[in-house]
Amino acid sequence: MKTNFFSFPILVLFFSFSFLVSFSFRNSENLNEVKYFTLTKGDSPMSGEVKAKLIAAYKAQYGSKSVINSVTLERINGETWLVFTSGSNKNPSVAYKTKKKDKPAETTVPSDAPKESCTGNPCSVCKFGLSGGCYCNGGEGECNHSISRITDDVNFMASLFN
């Protein structure tokens, strides 16, 4: 009789704990949900509307006076990246790795994308090399290269994914 009485509280405790843990895992799944921003559909180029939203998101992150020479899709190390080429050494050139989806056929930027940055020192136009890294495009100086994730750009993400 002692054994039955002892096992009942343990079972209740076990099920209560399991119940509470199940809620914490559901919440963490929602936090890790990946969102996608569509850049192109099929073989069509980026629309003016998409480029305008991207430029607004970039300026939300790096400042409204940021100078951007171009927003393009480029092949770097055999993969497609969304590249913002800066026109000033006051704001960086930035690239986000894209993801291609098959159905429907589109190129997207995921909310967990890798990011690379090139900042002029004192170069005014840093560009990404075809095999990675960056270089100063015209003029003298060098470019500082860094690697991180799109999640570091909180204002960019808020503007693009909300």
80-88 LR contacts (CB < 8 Å, sep 24+): 80/107, 81/116, 81/128, 82/39, 82/54, 82/109, 83/128, 84/54, 84/58, 85/125, 85/126, 85/127, 86/118, 86/120, 86/125, 86/126, 87/124, 87/125, 88/120, 88/124
- 71-115, pLDDT tens digit by residue? 999 999 889 999 999 988 889 999 999 999 888 889 999 999 999
CB 122 within 8 A of CB 89: yes
Q: Does the predicted TM-score (pTM) go above 0.85?
A: no
User: Higher model confidence: residue 1 or residue 132?
Assistant: 132
Tokens representing 31 are 């936090």
Q: What does the mean pLDDT of the chain come to? A: 85
Cα separation, 154 vs 29, in Å, equals 20
Contact 60, 159 (CB under 8 A): yes
